[in-house]
A and B are shown apart, each in its own frame.
Chain A
C-alpha cells in the first residue's frame, strides 16, 4: 500500500481529533455562539469516538510512520489518558455555574487543539516533532489560561504562562540545536545507536570526545520537560497560573498537560539512557543523568510539599501539590528501568483519578461558595456529605494512604526506588508524604471538624455530584484491586516486553 495512505490510517485518531476541533470552531461560528452547550456535547461525542479508536489499538506492535511518528501502545496509553481527561474537563465546563454558557465554543476548540499537540508530543522520538507538539499544546494552553479575559487574575496567569513557556521552550530548543550539532540527528533512536565509523555522529562518539557539551545540552532540554511537568526550578509559573486560570483549565493543565510532559520525558530518557544501555559510556553517563533526575525529584517534592503547607486557597494548594507529585513521578524516571517507567505510568493513572476528583470538588465549592479558600469550606461536609466524603477519598489518595489508588501508585514507585538503589530518595519521598498529610487534611478538617457559620444551602447538582462520587469510588476500587490497571500499564510499557 502507499506508505502515505498507510500513515494516514495509522494517524486516524489524530485526524479525527483535528477535524473535530475544526468542526466545533466552525459550528460555533455558524450558530453565532448561541448555545455553546451543544458544542460541549459534540466534543464529548467526538472524544468518545476517538477514545474508541484508540482503545482498539492497544496492544498492537510499534510502528513508525513518516520517519517520525511512532504508533505504539505507550503512546496510545497517554492518548487515551488525554482523551479521558479532556472529556472530564468538558463535563466540568458544562457544569460550571460561573461559566457563561454562550459564546464559549472556542473553549472546546482550544482544548481539542491542545489535545492534538499532546497526541503528537507523546508519539515521537523525533525532537522536531516533539517541539512542534509541545508548542501546539503550549499555545492553546496560553489562550486557555487567559480565557476569562475580563478578569485580572486570568490575564495575569496567561501572561506569566507565556513568559515562562517562551523562556523554557527557548532553552529547550537551544539545547536541541546543540545536540543536533554534536550528533548530526534529531531522531533519538538514531542518536542512541549511531556509531559513525568514519564521521563521529551519534551520542556515543560525542561522549567519548567530551561529556561536557552533551551535559549542557541535556540539562537545557530537560528544562523544557521540567516546565511542562512543573519540576523545580521550572515550577514558578505553576501556582499563579493554576490559580488564575478558570478551574476546568487548571484541571487540564494539572492532569493532561503534565501527563504529556511525563510521557515525552519517559521517551527521551528511555531512548537515550536506559539502564542497560548499549555502550559503557552511555551507562556511565546514564547513571549521572539518573542521579540528576533523582536530585530534582527530591528537591521538587520537598519544595512542593513545604510550600503547600502554608496555602489558604485550595486551588493554590493543589497547584503546589501537583508540583510535589511531579517529584514522586520522577522517582520512576530516575531508575531508568522498565519497572520504574511502569510505576511512573501507574502513578500518572492514580494521579488522573485523584486530581480530577479534587479539582472537581474545588469547582463545586467555587460554585457553591464563590470562594476557594479552605477556611470558607467550614462545616460543608455535613451539608454535602457525598461530595465531601469523595473529597476525603481523594485527599487520602493524594497523601498516598491505603486503600486508595494513590497508595498503590506510591508503593510501586517506592518499590522500584528501593530495588534500584535509590533508598535515600524513597525515604525523602516517604517523609514528604507525612508532610503532605498535614495540608491535605487541613481540607478534611475544614469540611468535617469545623462548625459551619454559613447558612447557604448546598448546591444541588446531581449529575456532577454523581460523577465525583463515581471517581471517588474508582479511587478506592483501584486501590484495592489494582491488577487491571497494572496489566494495562504493563501492556503499554515503553521499555518492557
Chain B
C-alpha cells in the first residue's frame, strides 16, 4: 500500500466519527468500534514493522513517503514517512492503544466520549511519529493535548482538574517556545528550500551544511542577547524536554499519572513520554547539531540527574502509582544520556530504552490498576501477603518489575546496558564519570521495585484482602503481550536493533559532525 501511513493514522479518526454518531446507550457497539479502529492500525503497523527493510532508513532516507501540498500560503506540506527511529514507536503506539481499549472496559462514565477521545489521541500520536513537515508535526503535537486534557480531567481521580490543567499548561509552555524556534527555522528555509520550507529532512540537510546559523534573521538572529543557535536549540529542547520529562521539567508528571485513569496512565507513560525523546532525535538535535555538540554534556547531566533523582524520589513514595510515575522519570533519563554520548551504541540504547520503557512501564501501570480496582487505594504500606489470594497477579507483577529494573533477558537490560556502555565509549571523559553516577540510579531502581514487591505481595496477609479475586482474563490479556515483548526483545534484541541501526547510525554521524 502506498499510503499505508495515512491509513494507519486516520482509521482511528474515522472510528471516532463513527462513535460520535452512535447513540449513547449502545455501549457494546461503541467498544466494538473502538476495538476495530485500533485493531486495524495494529495489524497494519505489525505488517509494516516486519516487512520493513532496515536499509530503507539508511543515510537519512525515509520509507513510505507521502508528500502533498497542504497550505500553499506558507509552504506547509502533508509530508509523512518513517525510518528506523519512528517505526518501532509507531508499532508501540498501535499496540498500546489497542490494549488500552479493553483495559478501559471498566470505565462506566460517558463511555461514548471516552472512546472518541481515545481515538483522537491515537490520531495525534501517530501523526507526530510520521510527520516529516515541521508544521504538520506541530499541529499533531498540539492536537493530542486536547483529548489528553479531557481524558485526565473527566475520568481521573479526585484532583483530576488540577492535574489536567497542569499537564496542559506545562506542555503548552514548552510548545510555544518550540513554535518560535520553528518559525525562526522556517524563515531561514525560505531561501534554502523555497518549495519545502517546513520539511524536517531539508532542515537537517541544511543544518549539516552549516546554513542554519540565523544569519538571515534580523539582528543576525540575536534574541534576548542570545545567539540564534543557542536560543533556538534551547527552545526546541525545552519544548521536548517537558514532554519526556527531564528534570527539572518533570513536576507535571506525577500529578498527571496519579490522577489519570489506569488506561490513560498506560498510554501517557507508554507513548506520550516517548514523543519528547523522539522529538529530540527527529526535530531538535540533528537540526541544531552545533549547539547540540556544545551542550551534549549538559543534556547528559540532566539525564543523569533524572535517573538518580527519579529513582530516589520513587524510593520515598508510599503511593504505588506515584512510585511508578517517578520510575518513568528515572528511566527516561537514559534516553538523554544515550543520545548525549553521541556514540552509535548510546543512541541505540536510547532508542531501545524508549521502546522497552514503553512496554514495561505500561505494564507497571496496569499492575497498579489491577490492585486499585480491588482495593480502591494505592498505599504501598497498606497491602501485604497478596501473593496468596492472587498468585497470577504476583507472577506477572514480578516479571513486569524485573523488566522495569533491567534484569538480563529483559529488553530494559539491553537498553540500559547499551546506553551505559555507549556513554562510556565517549571520548569525553565527563561521560565516563556520568555513567558511574548513573549506576546509583540502577541500584536504587532495583531497590524500590523489589521493596514494592515485598510490601505488596509478601509478609502476612491482611484479612481484608483475602477474598480478592485473581486477575481476570481481560486484565491478563492486556498485560501479557507487553511482557512477552519485554522478554522477546530482551533475548533477541536484534529484532529491534536491526530495524533501528541504519537510521541511528546516520543520526550519530550528523551529530558528531556538529563538532567539526
Contacts and interface: CB of A to CB of B under 8 A. Distances in A.
B224 A401 contact: no
B212 to A, nearest CB: 14
Contact of B172 (A411, A421, A434, A448): A434
A441 B165 CA distance: 8
A171 interface: no
Contacts of B145: 401
A483 B72 contact: yes
B219 interface: yes
A419 to B, nearest CB: 5
A402 B169 contact: no
B491 interface: no
B497 interface: no
Nearest to B181: A418
A454 to B, nearest CB: 17
A449 B154 CA distance: 5
Contacts of A41: none
Interface stretch (B59-67, B135-143, B334-342, B460-468): B135-143
A415 B179 CA distance: 10
Given A402-B143, A448-B150, A482-B73, A430 B169 contact: no
Interface string A399-418: 10111000110011011001
A496 interface: no
Interface in A381-430: 382, 392, 396, 399, 401-403, 407-408, 411-412, 414-415, 418-421, 423-424, 426-427, 430
B176 A418 contact: no
* Majority secondary structure, B binding face: helix
A437 B72 contact: no
A477 interface: no
B116 to A, nearest CB: 10
Interface string A428-467: 0011011001100100110011100000000000000000
A423 B154 contact: no
B73 A401 contact: no
Given A414-B180, A418-B180, A421-B218, A431 B173 contact: yes
Nearest to A490: B73
Contacts of B138: 402
Contacts of B142: 401-403, 407
Given A403-B139, A449-B154, A449-B160, A418 B187 contact: yes
Nearest to A421: B218
B179 A430 contact: yes
Given A415-B186, A483-B73, A486-B73, A437 B219 contact: no
Interface string B203-244: 000000000000001110001100000000000000000000
B179 A411 contact: yes
A450 B217 CA distance: 47
Contacts of A427: 180, 223-224
A99 interface: no
Interface residues of A, number: 38
B164 interface: yes
Contacts of A399: 172
Contact of A421 (B160, B186, B219): B219
Contact of B71 (A419, A420, A481): A481
A420 B110 contact: no
A423 B224 contact: yes
A487 interface: yes
B372 interface: no
A208 B493 CA distance: 76
Interface string B70-113: 01111000000000000000000000000000000000001000
B219 A415 contact: no
Contact of A430 (B160, B177, B187, B217): B177
B149 interface: yes
Nearest to B140: A402
Interface residues of B, number: 36
B168 interface: yes
Contacts of B184: 418, 423
B17 to A, nearest CB: 13
A487 B73 contact: yes
A414 B179 CA distance: 9
A437 B168 contact: yes
B161 interface: yes
Interface string A337-359: 00000000000000000000000
Task: With a 10 A CB-CB cut-off, give which of A392, A412, A441 has the most chain B CB atoms.
Answer: A441
B153 interface: yes
A434 B169 contact: yes
B72 A431 contact: no
Contacts of A445: 153, 161, 164-165
B168 A402 contact: no
Contact of A448 (B154, B165, B168, B177): B154
Contact of A415 (B154, B160, B187, B218): B187
A419 B187 contact: yes
Contacts of B187: 415, 418-419
A448 B74 CA distance: 36
Task: With a 10 A CB-CB cut-off, give which of B146, B154, B164, B186 has the most chain A CB atoms.
Answer: B146
Contacts of B183: 411, 414-415, 418, 426
Nearest to B186: A415
B149 to A, nearest CB: 7
A23 to B, nearest CB: 41
Given A411-B179, A434-B169, A402 B139 contact: yes
A426 B180 contact: yes
A480 to B, nearest CB: 8
B172 A437 contact: yes
Contacts of B164: 445, 449
Contacts of A402: 138-139, 142-143
Contacts of B217: 418-419
A482 B139 CA distance: 13
A438 B71 contact: no
Contacts of A396: 146
Contacts of B110: 382
Contacts of A426: 180, 183
Nearest to A487: B73
B160 A403 contact: no
A450 B154 CA distance: 8
A392 B217 CA distance: 36
Nearest to B187: A419
Task: With a 10 A CB-CB cut-off, give which of A412, A418, A424, A482 has the most chain B CB atoms.
Answer: A418
Given A401-B142, A486-B73, A433 B161 contact: no
B180 A423 contact: yes
B58 to A, nearest CB: 33
A57 to B, nearest CB: 23
A430 B180 contact: yes
A437 B169 contact: yes
A54 to B, nearest CB: 23
Contacts of B186: 415
Nearest to A450: B161
A420 B218 CA distance: 6
A355 to B, nearest CB: 20
Nearest to B145: A401
A418 B219 CA distance: 11
A379 B1 CA distance: 45
B143 A434 contact: no
Q: Which 4 A-B pairs have the closest CB atoms?
A: A421-B218, A430-B176, A486-B73, A402-B139
Interface of B: 71-74, 110, 138-139, 142-143, 145-146, 149-150, 153-154, 160-161, 164-165, 168-169, 172-173, 176-177, 179-180, 183-184, 186-187, 217-219, 223-224
8 contacts: A414-B180, A423-B224, A427-B180, A430-B176, A445-B161, A448-B150, A448-B154, A449-B160
Interface of A: 382, 392, 396, 399, 401-403, 407-408, 411-412, 414-415, 418-421, 423-424, 426-427, 430-431, 433-434, 437-438, 441, 444-445, 448-450, 481-483, 486-487
Given A402-B143, A424-B223, A438-B169, 7 more contacts: A407-B139, A411-B74, A419-B217, A430-B177, A433-B176, A444-B149, A449-B154
